[in-house]
A and B are shown apart, each in its own frame.
Chain A
Amino acid sequence: MAAVATCGTGAGSTRSIVATTSKNNVTSFQRKGPRASGTDSGCSRLVSIAGTRPSVRNGQLLVSTGLPALDQLLGGGLAVGTVLLIEEDKYNIYSSLLFKYFLAEGIINGHTLLVASAKEDPADILQELPAPLLDDNYKKDLDEDICNHQTPDSNIKMKIAWRYQLLPKMESGPVSSSRFGHYYDASKRMPRELIETSKWHGFFFPEKLSSTLNKEPCSLTHGYRRLLQFIQKVIYEEGFDGSNPQKKQKNILRIGIQNLGSPLWGDDICCTENCDNSHSLTKFLYVLRGLLRTSLSACIITMPTHLIQNRAIIARITNLSDTVVGLESFIGSERETNPLYKDYHGLIHIRQIPRLNNLIYDVSDVKDLAFKLKRKLFTIELPLQLKSHLGLI
């Protein structure tokens, strides 16, 4: 048939077009195979460090902060080589808890720790780390909690969007197969065996203070200079910057500095508004960031910014840190009795998220987040969620 013939020639012509394209291999569809570019192979080499994973957005190597809710807010985790600055709440309860979660996560993953403090002995800090939650125990408690909080209305099945009932529930608890980010029980201590098998270095400033006799004048406060020298020594000797070739597998150094900027470090930015060496802390942060960027390490710093008298210094400190998270607890403030916040213990402000190898920020559009410390867990939520009595329709 003529019609069939035209179809035939048409098919033939398309077949020939296909033939030409396959010969020239001009397609925009490229498969990512094992013989991909060098960065991919480099990335796969780094991923083999325990407790890290590449970011899904830009491939940056991330470590967990110890609090999966905070990891989610920061875009997957804390990037290796960056500083997480936590602005302390007034009575330093929740910021020290976040500090301990970070260190506990390091111990669980087998990272090396460096703990620096001017107030408490690092050995004491490590004794007080929270215990990791085993999955089956946690699931029992989570189910209990959910049953307690559920109102009778929420048992209504969905009528319009009934397809969503088939979807699995959003995981708010630990996934049993998660290797990145663990949950901790703040009421229990970490078992001593885990702490003793871990590798850690401690810097307790009052000890170092007593051992020096003469203080030579320099622009950095004495305490900061000693701390930087200590960090540099540990990074160099243990090979975190690649200087000494590491025979064993590469590892991450987790640095934790507590109460930086308080007068116990010898810095008086918390005491007066016009202090003599007001640039000491900013210089410290700058040098520290340089040390971190050239090594496989991540740092958490807690700072009592509510005591710093000069607001300009706070702005400089924020610019010099990578990720800045502020905690504001409701203890003693009028918000404690406000029914909007009655279930929560404080607000958490994400003040800054870094642009690492990026042109744009990864800023979440949710600004008003609140946290609460339930019996065992630290959760971060939107506080003004109207509960299920609105109905799911």
Chain B
Amino acid sequence: MESVLALGGLVLLRDSVEWEGRSLLKALVKKSALCGEQVHILGCEVSEDEFREGFDSGINGRLIYHDLFRDPLSWSRTGEALPGGPLGALQAMCRRTDPGPFTIALDSLSWLLLHLPCTAVCQALCALSHQHSRPGGSCPAEPVRVLGLLHEELHGPGPLGALSSLAQTEVTLSGALGQASAHILSRRPRQRPAHQTQWFSILPDFSLDLQGGPPLESQPHPDPHTPPVDPTARVTFNLHLSKKEKEAKDSLTLPFQFSSEKQQALLRPRPGQATSHIFYEPDAYDDLDQEDPDDDLDV
């Protein structure tokens, strides 16, 4: 689970109705806050009190909460609501100026996708995650982490695929027998993505308890599918020769083999023979007349 926070960039927490992800989000937020980072929270789905519930006062003091839940459409006009709506709030976070490691938790990304066009959300997320490569400023080595909670069932394959392609880490929540598991897919740049499955549980004070796995009998057996295909299994010719067969094959002389002995025999002149001779037996009808070999002169 440490790798989830270590990589930086966009971390997608995909949850579903059976396995909810807000507690994992809060656990990760608590972990970042305990590391001394600044944590900004964009709360859209639940109220601030409900989100802060369960955190102790130290952690609560470190969280900077941007509340979009109470007044998402800015109707109250008291100045408390965030200017520019949700998109403005996201863009304001992009323009932060203070250095230091930075974590943004989006609760939730699904709410943003439903209220804003998908392209705007993707562009804002990309700008957030790549903030450290801003021109003109020094490149801080600390990563900017964006934790986004995404409810899988609310979206079609389009937005899910688009966000997956942007994410550095994807954590998909599932589980078995009351035990939650996280399937972590981390994509380091220019490297193959790494899969990992981690069983865990969240304690009441939102700290993570990593576990080995559920009891053995609950684990699904790998289904006895067909054994791996061997391409050389069922060919109509013999691919493997026994030793005897190999010896027999090697000792076979092929009909048109031009061996060196034959070559020498042809090249070496036979003893007692300078030129070649032609032996001819004249026939009864042969007329060996040198002056008229074709016998067509009318003489």
- What is A's interface to B at a CB cutoff of 8 Å? 91-93, 96, 118-121, 124, 128, 159-160, 162, 206-207, 209, 262-264, 266-268, 270-273, 304, 306-307, 309, 331-332, 337-340, 384, 386, 389-390
Contact = CB atoms under 8 A, between A and B. Distances in A.
Nearest to A342: B228
5 nearest A-B residue pairs (beta carbon): A263-B122, A271-B118, A263-B119, A271-B158, A307-B161
A268 B192 contact: no
Contacts of A271: 118-119, 158-159, 162
Nearest to A383: B231
A312 B194 CA distance: 33
Nearest to A272: B158
B254 interface: yes
B31 interface: no
Interface in B207-243: 228-232, 239
Given A263-B162, A307-B158, A272 B193 contact: no
Contact of A268 (B119, B135, B195, B228): B119
Given A159-B257, A206-B127, 14 more contacts: A91-B193, A92-B165, A120-B130, A206-B126, A209-B123, A263-B119, A263-B123, A264-B166, A271-B162, A307-B161, A331-B192, A337-B228, A338-B229, A339-B228
A386 B239 CA distance: 10
Contacts of A268: 117-119
Nearest to B127: A206
Given A93-B192, A306-B161, A307-B165, A384 B119 contact: no
Interface in B153-212: 156-159, 161-162, 165-166, 187, 190-193, 195
Contacts, number: 86
A382 to B, nearest CB: 13
Nearest to A271: B118
Given A267-B119, A271-B119, A390-B239, A262 B127 contact: no
13 contacts: A160-B256, A207-B135, A264-B123, A267-B119, A270-B158, A270-B162, A304-B165, A307-B161, A331-B193, A332-B193, A338-B228, A339-B230, A340-B229
Given A268-B117, A270-B161, A271-B159, A339 B229 contact: yes
Q: Interface size for chain B: under 10, 10 to 19, 20 to 34, or 35 or more residues?
A: 20 to 34
Contacts of B231: 339-340, 384, 386
A209 B126 CA distance: 13
Contact of A262 (B162, B190, B254): B162
A190 to B, nearest CB: 14
A331 B192 CA distance: 8
Interface string B132-152: 010100000000000000000
A216 B190 CA distance: 38
A4 B251 CA distance: 58
A307 B239 contact: no
Contacts of A206: 123, 126-127
Nearest to A338: B229
Contacts of A96: 190
Contacts of B127: 206
Contacts of A207: 135
Nearest to B232: A386
A121 B133 CA distance: 8
- Which of A91, A124, A160, A337 is packed against the most chain B CB atoms within 10 Å? A91
Nearest to A128: B190
B118 A266 contact: no
Nearest to A308: B158
A93 B190 contact: yes
Nearest to A268: B119
A8 B129 CA distance: 96
Interface in B245-299: 254, 256-258
A272 B118 contact: yes
Contacts of B193: 91, 331-332
B257 A262 contact: no
Contact of B123 (A91, A266, A272): A266
B242 to A, nearest CB: 14
Contact of A309 (B133, B157, B257): B157
Nearest to A276: B117
A307 B162 contact: yes
B229 A264 contact: no
A306 B229 CA distance: 28
B150 to A, nearest CB: 14
A389 B123 contact: no
Contacts of A92: 165
B101 to A, nearest CB: 21
B169 to A, nearest CB: 13
B126 A119 contact: yes
Contacts of A307: 158, 161-162, 165
A337 B162 CA distance: 27
B231 to A, nearest CB: 6
A304 B191 CA distance: 18
